[in-house]
Amino acid sequence: MSFMQKQIVFGEWLGIEEINGTSFLPIEDAPKSVIEFCESAAYPNEIANHPDVRSELLEFVNCNHDFQIFSVERITGFGCGLSAPGHMDCTEWGVFETEKEAEQYLSEMYDE
């Protein structure tokens, strides 16, 4: 059995569009203030331009301290990645509309 195992989870996510691409964060791991701001903001870019949101999301994205967020969006879908049960080792999440798309992504990215 491989150390890293495939994981597919249906749920809600924050899609954080930033300079290096899109990072996905499970909604339960997101800071409450960011979730509240997402629910009250009229437009995704309104969230991105808020300095408090930017500083709270910094620890969750793969960027330096000068990172730029283009949008933050609450989405529902199938998150997928690799995880080592009982350890902190894991890959970044990818999020897709269907479970089949998530399975296909994992196969293309991680199967030998």
Position 8 scores a pLDDT of 95
76 pairs with which residues across the strands?
12
Structural element, H or E, at residue 37: helix 32-40
Mean pLDDT by 10 residues, the chain (112 residues): 82 87 90 78 63 74 65 90 80 94 92 66
Helix, strand, or coil here: 90?
strand
Global confidence as pTM: 0.78
